[in-house]
Amino acid sequence: MSIKCIALDLDRTTLNMDGKLSKENKAALEYAISRGVHIVVASGRAFHTLPKDVIAISGIEYAITSNGTAVYHIPTQKCLHQYKLNKNSIEKIIELSKSEQVTYEAFIDGKAYADSTYIEHPEIFGADKQAIIYIRETRHMVDNIEEFIREHIEEIDCMDIITKNNELKEFLMEQLKKDVEGIYVTSCIEQLVEISNEQAGKHSGVKFIMKLLGLQREEIAAFGDGDNDIDMLKFVGTGIAVENASDQCKNAADMITKHHDENGVAYGIYEMLKI
């Protein structure tokens, strides 16, 4: 069965080390679109933090955002499908984590909010140069993120816990999965715990797109690199991991393509479409 839809993770998959879309990957996406293939963004990013060089490509219509929390129609910026975190879940998340060395990010209707101290000094939590630029360009600053979350507790789409080390991240993920009901917990990088409604996940967003476009699972492919891509790669007909992906992501994939800095998405697309 031919591929009619490709879901793309962005960071460390479709984007290069500088967080940009290479001309080779851009050309491959445009080629796939010219062949009638639907290209769908499938990112952990919130809608209003998606890179302009990707969503500006003519023919890319849909974006699965915040790890499946919301699905948007890109040309109109209309949210087609959305989940919210349960108030009780949020309160329990904060209760379990606030005594640790953490900070939070909150997402409301496609916008990202973070504490002013974190935005000013993200390197304290291990952010590298590229991540620092991304954080400062995309996060809306609030004086106290915990207070902000409590004030907007009925509006929260999803939230992140940012830790200072991987050991704390792993500990908190286990505690959350064990003690908090109604949540989906995943991670794309070492110090980040990403939390959304239990019905979310990138695979959930792909399922929504599949029904919207009248497709079969076998007609969908997906590219990813992180643990937050695993469920998506398992769900679609053809799951593809870039060479730099986590071991767990590679194990979930049907095939491995080149490194994201070697235009692995372009290589994989041309292989699938038999150029």
Over residues 161-182, the pLDDT tens digits come to 999 999 999 999 999 999 999 9
- Number of neighbouring beta carbons within 10 Å of residue 140: 13
- Mean pLDDT of all residues in 226-235: 97
| Residue 133 phi, psi dihedral angles, 5° rounding | -60, -45
- Please state whether beta strands 5-8 and 38-42 pair in parallel, antiparallel, or not at all (unpaired): parallel
Residue ranges covered by each domain of the chain: 5-82+201-273, 87-197
Q: What is the mean pLDDT of the chain?
A: 96
Token pair 């960071």 is found at: 11
Q: Supply the pLDDT for residue 90.
A: 98
Q: Is the pLDDT at 21 greater than 70, yes or no?
A: yes
Spatial contact of 219 and 200, defined as CB atoms under 8 Å apart: no
Q: Give the pLDDT band of residue 275 (cuts 50, 70, 90).
A: low
Q: Which pTM was predicted?
A: 0.95
Q: CATH class for domain 5-82+201-273?
A: alpha beta
Q: Is the pLDDT at 160 greater than 90, yes or no?
A: yes
Q: Supply the pLDDT for residue 189.
A: 84
The rounded percent of the chain whose pLDDT value lies above 70 is: 99
Q: Supply the pLDDT for residue 190.
A: 84
- Mean pLDDT of all residues in 179-186: 96
Q: Is it true that 5-82+201-273 and 87-197 share their CATH fold?
A: no
Q: Is the pLDDT at 7 greater than 60, yes or no?
A: yes
Maximum distance among all Cα pairs of the chain, rounded to whole angstroms: 55
Cβ burial 239-272 (10 Å sphere, 16+ → b, else e): bbbbebbbeebbebbeeebebbebbbbbbbbbeb
**Gap between the Cα atoms of 205 and 7, Å rounded:** 10
Q: Two tokens at 208?
A: 């929504």
Instruction: Pick the more confident residue, 102 or 273.
Output: 102
Q: Supply the pLDDT for residue 1.
A: 66
Q: Supply the pLDDT for residue 130.
A: 87
Q: CATH class for domain 87-197?
A: alpha beta
Q: Supply the pLDDT for residue 78.
A: 98
Q: What is the torsional sign of CA 144, 146, 150, 152?
A: positive
Q: Is the pLDDT at 114 greater than 70, yes or no?
A: yes
Residues with Cβ < 8 Å from 80, sequence gap 6 or more? 62, 71, 72, 73, 208, 212
- Mean pLDDT of all residues in 53-71: 97
SS3 64: strand
Q: Give the pLDDT band of residue 225 (cuts 50, 70, 90).
A: very high
Q: CA 172: distance to chain centroid?
A: 19
SS3 breakdown of the chain: % helix, strand, coil, rounded to 5?
45, 25, 30
